Each structure stands twice: as structure tokens, then as C-alpha cells.
Amino acid sequence: MMIDINLQKKKQRTLSVKKRFILNKFYSPNNLSFNEILQKIDWFNNSIVVASFISIKSEISTISLNKFIWKSGKILCLPVMADDKEGLLSFSQHNKEDSLVVGKFGVKEPIHTKSHLPDIIFVPCLAYDKFGFRLGYGGGYYDKTIFHLYSIKHNFITVGLAYEDQRVDKVIHDHLDQKLNYILTEKQLYKIL
């Protein structure tokens, strides 16, 4: 008898939330510096619009990453969840002085700013594997958005942002789950083949 994939994902998600919560206690946001890795990467240096996120719950902190994006002279965008049935994200510009509002699921979002199509999208992860699959919270927002951007022939790079120890042998996935191009941890950048 085949176990339902949604049940498998739910179990993996529950375990991954617990693991990330424990990992998060060991890292100070000030000790997570991704700039040493990113400043050596051509595709980052050549980008103009970079979509990141504001961490919630036990997600790896994006404080140093977002500061580095601004310091690098790039346009920082944050995801905004649409209220429509499609479940796509848009990416709105966020400047240091801009206020954020709490949107769906407690995610902080920019208001009244210009939307952009990003060159790079940093994606939060509960878990990731060497094949480029990531486990999220289950809403499918990033997967639907990545699929949509590919469908309109937009050229961009996806980077999962996670702790090194969030890696698992295999993320449970189906045909709707989108592979990422890279995984960036506090230790290194993994290119997905």
C-alpha cells in the first residue's frame, strides 16, 4: 500500500520544524554572514534586483543578507502574497527607511512600493537535499511563483537559504515542487547539477 505523498510531506515537515528550531538556538543573526561567499559569485555581482525575505519563526536569519544586498547597491525586494486564487508571489522593493506591514501568515511585506521581476530569489527552507528540492511550509507559494516565472521565460536564479544541518537525504516532493539552482548555508554555496 502506497503512503500518500501529502502525509509523507507532513511528517517530514513536522520533523524539520523541530530540527530547525533547535538549530536556530545555536546561531546569532550577527554571526550569519553570507557576504564572504556571495561577493565571490559572478551571478550575484552581476544582478540588479534581488528578492530576499524577512525571517519568521525559526527561519535562518536574513538580517546580514539583506544588509549586504543593500550595501552592494542592489534593489532589495521582499515577497508579497497575493489574495487571489493563483497563489503567486510578487516581489516589491524594500528600502531601509520603508515601513513593513504584517501580511498573510505573519510575513512582513512592503506596501506601496514598486514590484520587480528578480534576477535572484532567496527562498526559505525547512529542509533541502542535494538534488535541489526544498521543503517549505506547504502553501506552494514559491513553487507556483518559480513555475510561473519559468513559464513567462524570465531569466533568474533560485537560492535556498538554510542551515547546513537542515540537509536531508531526500526531500519528499511531487511534480509541483520546483528544484532550486543553489543552496546557501552558513558554511558554503552548493550548486545543484
Q: DSSP string spanning 68-95?
A: HHHHTTPEEEEEEE-SSTT--EEEEE--
For residue 1, the model assigns a pLDDT of 38
Averaged pLDDT in 10-residue chunks for the chain of 193 residues: 77 90 75 83 97 92 92 96 83 90 86 92 96 92 96 97 94 94 94 85
- Is the Cβ–Cβ distance between 47 and 69 less than 8 Å? no
Prediction pTM value:
0.92
55 close to 126: Cβ distance less than 8 angstroms: no
pLDDT at 116 (0 to 100): 96
pLDDT score, position 22: 86
Distance CA 31, CA 33 (A): 6
104 closest CA partner among 84, 77, 123, 120: 84
Residues 6+ apart with CB under 8 A from 172: 5, 8, 9, 12, 135
Centre a 10 Å sphere on the Cβ of residue 23 and count the other Cβ atoms it contains: 17
Q: How far apart (Å, rounded) are the C-alpha atoms in residues 162 and 183?
A: 7
The secondary structure of the chain in percent helix, strand, coil, rounded to multiples of 5, reads 30, 20, 50
pLDDT reported for residue 99: 86
Residues in the chain: 193
| Structural domains present in the chain | 5-132+139-191 (3.40.50.10420)
The neighbour count for residue 49, using CB atoms within 10 Å, is 18
Q: Cβ neighbours of residue 145 under 8 Å, at least 6 residues apart?
A: 79, 88, 89, 121
